[in-house]
Amino acid sequence: MSKPNTATRGGPGQGPPRGQGLIYRSQFLNPKARARFLDELKAYHPIWEQRFSESNPPPEGQSQRRLLRPVYWLGNWQFACLNYYHPPKGLDFRCVRAEPFPPFMQSIVNEIQTMVRGHFPAKDVPRDWELNTCLVNYYGSQVSPDGRREDVARVGEHKDFEPGPVASISFGDRALFQFVSSQGKQSRSQVVLQQWLEDSSLQIFGGDRFKKHLFHRVQRVEDKRGERFDTYTGDFETRRLNLTFRYVPRDHIQPFARFPKHLQEDIKPYVAELGKTSAFFKDLLA
How confident is the model at residue 7, as a pLDDT?
38
Estimate the share of the chain in helix, then strand, then coil, as percent rounded to the nearest 5.
25, 30, 45
Cβ neighbours for 120, distance < 8 A, ≥ 6 positions apart: 18, 19, 21, 165, 206, 207
Residue 6 is predicted with a pLDDT of 37
Please, are residues 52 and 58 in contact by the beta-carbon 8 Å criterion?
A: yes
- Report the pLDDT value the prediction gives residue 187, as an integer from 0 to 100: 77
Q: What is the pLDDT of residue 231?
A: 87
Q: What pLDDT, on the 0 to 100 scale, is given for residue 20? A: 83
pLDDT of residue 233: 85
Q: What is the model's pLDDT at position 71? A: 97
Strands 202-205, 166-172: pairing is antiparallel
CATH number at residue 144: 2.60.120.590
What SS3 class is residue 230? coil
Alpha carbon distance 34, 38 (integer Å) = 6
**In the chain, at which residue ranges do the beta strands (DSSP E only) sit?**
5-6, 22-25, 71-74, 76-77, 95-97, 133-143, 149-151, 155-158, 166-172, 175-181, 190-197, 202-205, 215-221, 236-246, 253-254
* CA–centroid distance for 153 within its chain: 13
**Tally of domains in the chain:** 1
Any idea what DSSP says for residue 50? B
Taking CA atoms, 43 is separated from 30, 36, 52, 172, 246, in Å, by 21, 12, 27, 18, 21
Choose among 21, 9, 7, 3: nearest CA to 209: 21
Phi, psi angles (nearest 5°) of residue 50: -95, 150
- pLDDT computed for residue 12 by the predictor: 43
Q: Residue 60: its pLDDT value, please? A: 94
Question: Using CB atoms within 10 A of its CB, is residue 135 exposed (0-12), middle (13-18) or buried (19+)?
Answer: buried
Q: What are phi and psi of 19, to 5 degrees?
A: 95, -5
pLDDT digits (tens, 9 = 90+) for 74-96: 999 999 999 999 999 999 999 99
pTM over 0.85: yes
> Which stretches of the chain score pLDDT less than 70?
1-19
Q: Which domain holds residue 163?
A: 5-284
